[in-house]
Amino acid sequence: MHAFSLKHRLCRLHPALKALSGMLLTVCAAWWLLFGWLVVRAPLPYAALDFNHDGHISLGEAEYAASYGTRPVREGYKTCTEYFSLKDGQTLVTRCEKR
């Protein structure tokens, strides 16, 4: 009977603790949604987003790749689109139309 009352007491959280855990869960979910949105928005495949080659894609790397611009370029006889970072103008990827 004593074990039941202890378990019952642990299941009842203080309202402030419930609110804090709810806020923490909300912040974590928002962070992962933001990260996912940035990765999906980037013109690069997921494997190419690891710019510093440390094996992990950070929020900064995902943001860097997701804030991009485009400009038309020509490579020989092909018309291509160059995706570049808005932060520093570096080319992220160049895609040419297939004929």
Those residues whose C-beta lies under 8 Å from the C-beta of residue 86, and which sit 6 or more positions away, are 67, 68, 69
Residue with tokens 């038309």: 72
pLDDT given at position 82: 93
- pLDDT of 3 > 60? The answer is no
Provide φ and ψ at 59, rounded to 5°.
-60, -35
Q: Find the mean pLDDT for residues 34-47.
A: 86
The whole domain housing 50 covers 2-96
Query: How many domains does the structure of the chain reveal?
Result: 1
Report the alpha-carbon angle 10-22-2, nearest 5: 5
Q: Find the mean pLDDT for residues 61-80.
A: 90
The pair of structure tokens assigned to 35 is 């990260």
Report the alpha-carbon angle 39-42-43, nearest 5: 140
Q: Find the mean pLDDT for residues 3-29.
A: 75
CB 67 within 8 A of CB 89: no
pLDDT given at position 99: 64
